[in-house]
Structure 1
Amino acid sequence: MKSKPQSVIAATGSYIPDTIIKNDHFLSHRFFDKDGTIIPKENTEIIRKFKEITGIEERRYAAPNERASDLGFFAAKDALESSGIDPESLDYIIVAHNFGDIPVGSNRVDTVPTLASRIKQMLKIENPDCIAYDLPFGCPGWVQGLIQADYYIRSGDAKRCLVIGTETLSRIIDPHDRDSLLYGDGSGAAILEASESGESGILAHKTRTYAIEHALLLAMDSSYTSEYPMQEDLFIKMNGRKLYEFAITNVPLLVKDALDKAGLHISEISKVLIHQANEKMDMVILERLFKLYGMKSPGEEIMPMSISWLGNSSVATVPTLLDLIMKGQMKEHSLKSGDKVVIASVGAGMNINAVIYQL
Structure 2
Amino acid sequence: MGNHHRFLGNKNYQTVEQCLQSLNRRHAELAPLAAIYQEIQEAEQAIEELESMCKSLNKQDEKQLQELALEERQTIDQKINMLYSELFQSLVPKEKYDKNDVILEVTSGRTTGGDICQQFTREIFDMYQNYSCYKHWQFELLNYTPADYGGLHHAAARISGDSVYKHLKYEVQRIPKVGLSSRMQYIHTGTMSVIILPQPDEVHVKLDPKDLRIDTFRARGAGGQHVNTTDSVVRLVHIPTGLVVECQQERSQIRNKEIALSVLRARLYQQIIEKNKCQQHSTRKLQVGTRAQSERIQTYNFTQDRVTDQRIAYEVRDIKEFVCGGKGLDQLIQRLLQLADEEAIVELLDENLKSPK
TM-score range, shorter chain: under 0.3
By relative contact order (CA 8 Å, sep 6+), the higher-ranking structure is 1
Q: Rg: which structure is higher?
A: 2
Which structure dedicates a bigger proportion of its chain to helix?
A: 2
TM-score, normalising length: structure 1: 0.27
TM-score, normalising length: structure 2: 0.27
Which structure dedicates a bigger proportion of its chain to strand?
A: 1
